[in-house]
Chains A and B, each alone.
Chain A
């Protein structure tokens, strides 16, 4: 007989909660979203002893049940709603042995919800270095729980944890704190009004409603009439509650935990002395950034060339094996080059996600937040804006979600508005292909011109975000309290499993997310490029033959001319030429114009679009870059991709707002269309002007 139980993993940030989740579920996990909001929902399945299956949900990290952000609110929403299908049969609170005292605060809160609660003490392998010893029996007795002492790093204690989870029925549900101790009169009157309900739950609902204005809760109802206290009063009570909880925790730990400081080896302070140093700290940060960019450029080259070649031969193979016809053409000229255009960037994107994951996992990112806060504040940002700005180099969408822990609304809004200027991974394919076409291969001080150009583009991205933040800070009239609290976690060697899973998950969602759009667009584009109206398209062969009758063209050249003529008069050619006057001053032709327009679905579509257009035109098997390099400008007759038009294109992509998904997320996070619409208009107009100036100066 198999049976399923619901397990909720809860814990402070930086306790290794995700490592515990990974250790329990391995690859049996999926990441989604909570309905209606953009908070990430991680779930997985774990087999327990005696054929029991556990459905594990990894709740967002939180310091307490008094939620102050959307992510944290998810935790309390679930734990207060017994009718939710994910409502846990058992809560597993993950704590870090070095921060046990603070971690226990959340534990006592969860326990007071009268849900069976197990305490996991993680990072047990560090106890020896820190001179910590624990009396587990004593702690279990006084916290009235079961404790699993584990180390995800050494893979120790996981089986014992599974054992404890499967025995969840014996775990006590006695609360730790009697709410009446906080304020006798208030809680007694509350009890009188709602005699049959848990006081702590009532109290949570009251304080949370102040912050989140939720109305619908299945278990605890009719509170509205009971908001007798002012916000400041409630906060004072919350403070008192916190003090009471710490008193309880301190009493338990006095006997349950001993710390021999003389045993402690302090690697953290040694590292901090260098990494947060007033000069070296910044220097090291800069060197790390530089290394990342050079690495992305150099290391990814080999797999990329391989993928490029593979897709070119795959197209050829399809053409040679499948029977000739429209369907084969659609696959060989529409879908394969379109997909190849995105698959080729997997190595670079994976590297980028890898570096970001390592920076986060190691605890270094918090040091950067610390170093940069003062500088960023000058531009109306927060030190915490550095995290979105850096992860914006992967993708603006998770970056904008990462702004949630910025306490001040003004700083957060500005961060959201300027993040799309950072060079996201979708720009990378566009940059790389254009850089390869127009920037010479030479070297300067040992660094190649091409990687230097890329680095420069990243700097332009950062520079523009910071500069526009400065303007927004002057323009926006928002007064909001600025709070800034950032935990400085201990340094950790990143766990291979955690980093690997993150990279895998993020790359997968990038490729499939973009893949779907690109697939759809390349099919549409192929049809538009392969068919056209009227005499000019359908009779192209005769027209071209007559036109060039006097010149002695070879069969191949003639075919080429016919194909170009057809493309120009296809549906897509007609559209493209209609918009050409608008983009000609920027140095683009109609093909780039089509790529620009389709880029508004997502930037990386640019490459796929050009790939599809070029392969419809040119039957020869060749890589996309070679085809682009050969192309000429219809009007000037010179090369289409020159230094001037290339730079103009690079700058256009650097500044323009061309991502519908980002606009959608900005709308969700700011709760109005005002900001995304302004972003779209201002960024794109700015991009146009800069690209125009660049081309006119360079040509």
Chain B
């Protein structure tokens, strides 16, 4: 099963593989949420929603429902 951003745990990193553009606002894409870019989950609010991320160097928060539409590949800690 493909992971989505919503599956990340705090402190984990990943690489964005696909974004379903129908569910993602253009603004988020413009802020760097594009395939190939790295993403790290920095903090979560209670119930893991919203999620505080570092996407490609930009720090931003999005809701879990949006995160579910962003496919990622986890990067394991070596």
What B residues does A632 contact at CB under 8 A? none
Check: A428 CB closer than 8 A to any chain B CB.
Answer: no
How far, in Å, is A125 (CB) from chain B's closest CB? 19
Q: Is the CB of B62 within 8 A of A63?
A: no
Check: B8 CB closer than 8 A to any chain A CB.
Answer: no
Check: A489 CB closer than 8 A to any chain B CB.
Answer: yes
Which segment of A221-229, A233-241, A543-551, A641-649 sits at the interface?
Answer: A233-241
Q: Is the CB of B60 within 8 A of A487?
A: yes
Q: Is the CB of A485 within 8 A of B60?
A: yes
Given contacts A272-B42, A278-B46, contact A485 B31 (CB under 8 A): yes
Q: Which of A98, A369, A383, A484 has the most CB of B within 10 A?
A: A484
Task: Give Cα distance in the complex from A98 to B58, angstroms.
Answer: 9
Which segment of A165-173, A370-378, A495-503 sits at the interface?
Answer: A370-378
Which segment of A99-107, A183-191, A324-332, A339-347 sits at the interface?
Answer: A99-107
Q: Is the CB of A374 within 8 A of B50?
A: yes
What B residues does A272 contact at CB under 8 A? 42-43, 52
Task: Give Cα distance in the complex from A64 to B30, angstroms.
Answer: 7
Check: B66 CB closer than 8 A to any chain A CB.
Answer: yes
What B residues does A407 contact at CB under 8 A? 25
Residue of A nearest to B43 (CB): A276
Check: A37 CB closer than 8 A to any chain B CB.
Answer: no
Given contacts A272-B52, A370-B52, contact A485 B28 (CB under 8 A): yes
Partner of B45 from A99, A105, A278, A485 at Cβ < 8 Å:
A278
Check: A220 CB closer than 8 A to any chain B CB.
Answer: no
Check: A246 CB closer than 8 A to any chain B CB.
Answer: yes
Residue of A nearest to B44 (CB): A278
Task: Give Cα distance in the complex from A239 to B22, angstroms.
Answer: 11
Q: Which of A482, A488, A489 has the most CB of B within 10 A?
A: A488
Check: A269 CB closer than 8 A to any chain B CB.
Answer: yes
Q: Is the CB of B25 within 8 A of A68?
A: yes
Check: A232 CB closer than 8 A to any chain B CB.
Answer: yes
Q: Mark B4-31, 1 if CB is under 8 A from A, else 0.
A: 0000000000000000011001111111
Check: A286 CB closer than 8 A to any chain B CB.
Answer: no
Check: A243 CB closer than 8 A to any chain B CB.
Answer: yes
Task: Give Cα distance in the complex from A483 to B64, angstroms.
Answer: 11
Task: Give Cα distance in the complex from A407 to B28, angstroms.
Answer: 12
Given contacts A272-B43, A374-B45, A485-B31, contact A102 B58 (CB under 8 A): yes
Q: Is the interface of B mostly helix, strand, loop or mixed?
A: mixed
Check: A486 CB closer than 8 A to any chain B CB.
Answer: yes
Partner of B27 from A269, A373, A485 at Cβ < 8 Å:
A485
Q: Is the CB of B47 within 8 A of A488?
A: no
Given contacts A99-B58, A102-B31, A486-B60, contact A374 B66 (CB under 8 A): no
Check: A66 CB closer than 8 A to any chain B CB.
Answer: yes
Check: A318 CB closer than 8 A to any chain B CB.
Answer: no
Task: Give Cα distance in the complex from A202 to B1, angstroms.
Answer: 42
What A residues does B21 contact at CB under 8 A? 235-236, 239
Residue of B nearest to A276 (CB): B43
Q: Is the CB of B52 within 8 A of A99?
A: no
What B residues does A68 contact at CB under 8 A? 25-27
Q: Mark A475-519, 1 if CB is under 8 A from B, else 0.
A: 000000011111111100000000000000000000000000000
Task: Give Cα distance in the complex from A232 to B21, angstroms.
Answer: 9
Task: Give Cα distance in the complex from A243 to B56, angstroms.
Answer: 13
Given contacts A236-B21, A370-B61, A374-B47, contact A66 B26 (CB under 8 A): yes
How far, in Å, is A148 (CB) from chain B's closest CB? 22
How far, in Å, is B46 (CB) from chain A's closest CB? 5
What A residues does B22 contact at CB under 8 A? 232, 235
What A residues does B61 contact at CB under 8 A? 366, 369-370, 373, 383, 484-486, 488
Interface size class of B (residues with CB under 8 A): 20 to 34
What B residues does A238 contact at CB under 8 A? 26
Check: A242 CB closer than 8 A to any chain B CB.
Answer: yes
Q: Is the CB of A484 within 8 A of B45?
A: no
What B residues does A273 contact at CB under 8 A? 43
Task: Give Cα distance in the complex from A235 to B47, angstroms.
Answer: 32
Check: B68 CB closer than 8 A to any chain A CB.
Answer: no
Q: Is the CB of A242 within 8 A of B34?
A: yes
Q: Is the CB of B46 within 8 A of A370?
A: no
How far, in Å, is B40 (CB) from chain A's closest CB? 10
Residue of B nearest to A486 (CB): B61
Q: Is the CB of A374 within 8 A of B46?
A: yes
What A residues does B60 contact at CB under 8 A? 485-488
What B residues does A488 contact at CB under 8 A? 52, 59-61
Residue of A nearest to B47 (CB): A374
How far, in Å, is A362 (CB) from chain B's closest CB? 15
How far, in Å, is A620 (CB) from chain B's closest CB? 59
Partner of B65 from A64, A370, A383, A482 at Cβ < 8 Å:
A482
Q: Mark B54-76, 1 if CB is under 8 A from A, else 0.
A: 00111111110110000000000
Q: Mark A13-34, 1 if CB is under 8 A from B, else 0.
A: 0000000000000000000000
Check: B3 CB closer than 8 A to any chain A CB.
Answer: no
What A residues does B62 contact at CB under 8 A? 484-486
What A residues does B29 contact at CB under 8 A? 239, 242
How far, in Å, is A386 (CB) from chain B's closest CB? 13
CB contacts under 8 Å to B, within A113-137, are none
Residue of A nearest to B56 (CB): A101
Residue of B nearest to A279 (CB): B46
Q: Which of B47, B49, B60 has the most CB of A within 10 A?
A: B60
Q: Which of B56, B57, B63 has the most CB of A within 10 A?
A: B63
Partner of A63 from B27, B34, B42, B59 at Cβ < 8 Å:
B27
Q: Is the CB of A484 within 8 A of B59?
A: no
Residue of A nearest to B65 (CB): A482
Task: Give Cα distance in the complex from A495 to B19, angstroms.
Answer: 39
Partner of B50 from A98, A269, A484 at Cβ < 8 Å:
A484
Given contacts A102-B31, A238-B26, A239-B29, contact A483 B66 (CB under 8 A): yes
What B residues does A485 contact at CB under 8 A? 25, 27-28, 31, 60-62, 66
In addition to A63-B31, A66-B30, A488-B61, 9 A-B residue pairs with Cβ atoms within 8 Å of each other are A64-B27, A101-B56, A242-B29, A370-B43, A370-B45, A374-B45, A374-B49, A482-B65, A488-B59
B residues sitting closer than 8 Å to A (CB atoms) are 21-22, 25-32, 34, 42-43, 45-47, 49-50, 52, 56-63, 65-66
**10 tightest A-B CB contacts, nearest first:** A488-B59, A483-B25, A484-B63, A64-B30, A370-B61, A276-B43, A486-B61, A373-B50, A485-B28, A487-B60
